[in-house]
Amino acid sequence: MIEEHFLIQFGAKTASFEKGEMLFRQGDTPRYYFQILKGAVKMNNFNDDGKEFVQGIFTEGDSFGEPPLFIKDSYPANAEAIAPSEVFLLAKDKFLELLTSNPQIHLKITVNLAERLYFKSVMASEISSQDPEHRVLKLIDHFKIKINKVPAGEKYRVEITRQQIADLTGLRVETVIRSIKSLEKKGELTIDNRKVYR
């Protein structure tokens, strides 16, 4: 997202997080811009019944948790490392200073936030009105085309787990497994050595 030398120039530090470690919790006051150097982080929250809903999964080069930095509000979700991770932390005031003095980076952040908002809008529509197979396929296509930039005609290996697909679509993992098997029978997906391809 933001080139490393800019982050370092404005005083960013790196921090290491073990799998399962929290970077911040819902309700915390935002103090840093976060960008992943290596590893993976999920943002999630839980309903009153304790069911997890994953807001997003972020990997190397991705930033996350920016909106509250702009609106002076607390985090609406938790951020948890889902693999051993190394993350850049840039203090909020330095992040805003970096954006003010670098309009091209500011635009890049704005585009990134717009893409995430678009994804949430699409998925909200899918979750409210579409059947499980459609939801699963829509999510896989989003990761194929928008996240991994794989051309439509090329084979794509699905990197996210069945559990992550369930968390991102609001489905039970058993439903995801059944949907994937059904989509394979219909020729929409292929499964090879337990790996899913689109």
Question: Of 59 and 28, which is predicted with more confidence?
Answer: 28
Say if residue 129's pLDDT is above 70: no
Is the predicted pLDDT of residue 119 greater than 80, yes or no? no
For residue 80, tell me if it sits in a domain: yes
- Total domain count for the chain? 2
Nearest partner of 127 among 167, 77, 164, 178, judged by Cα:
167
Q: Residue 114 domain-assigned?
A: no
- Per-residue confidence (pLDDT) for residue 176, from 0 to 100: 93
DSSP secondary-structure letter at 30?
P
> What confidence tier does 112 reach under pLDDT thresholds 50, 70, 90?
confident
41 in a structural domain:
yes
Are residues 94 and 164 both part of a single domain?
Answer: no
Domain ranges, residue 168: 130-197
Q: What is the mean pLDDT of the chain?
A: 89
26 domain-assigned: yes
Looking at the structure, tell me whether residues 73 and 138 fall in a common domain. Answer: no
Domain for residue 118, yes or no?
no
Which residue among 65, 88, 105 closes a domain?
A: 105
Per residue in 40-64, pLDDT (tens digit) is 899 998 877 777 878 888 889 999 9
- CATH number of the CATH domain containing 96: 2.60.120.10
Q: What DSSP element (H or E) covers 97?
A: helix 92-101
Beta bridge partners of 42: 57, 80
Residue-level pLDDT at 97: 96
User: For residue 101, is it within any domain?
Assistant: yes
* One domain, residues 87 and 49: yes
Distance CA 55, CA 116 (A): 10
92 and 135 share one domain = no
Within a domain: 145 = yes
Residues 89 and 137 in one domain: no
Decide if 46 is inside a domain: yes
- pLDDT bin (cut points 50, 70, 90) of residue 118 is confident
Clarify whether residues 87 and 172 are in a common domain: no
Asked if 8 and 100 sit in the same domain, the reply is yes
For residue 125, pLDDT over 80 is answered with no
Phi, psi of 60 (to 5 degrees): -45, 125
Within this chain, do residues 92 and 184 fall inside the same structural domain, yes or no?
A: no
185 falls in which pLDDT band (50, 70, 90)? very high
Do residues 138 and 68 both lie within one domain? no
The CATH number for 181's domain is 1.10.10.10
Q: Tell me the residue type at 14.
A: T
Instruction: Reply yes or no on whether the pLDDT at 152 is more than 80.
Output: no
Q: Based on the fold, state whether residues 93 and 158 are members of the same structural domain.
A: no
89-109 pLDDT per residue, tens:
999 999 999 999 999 999 999
With 0.85 as the threshold, say if the pTM is over it: no
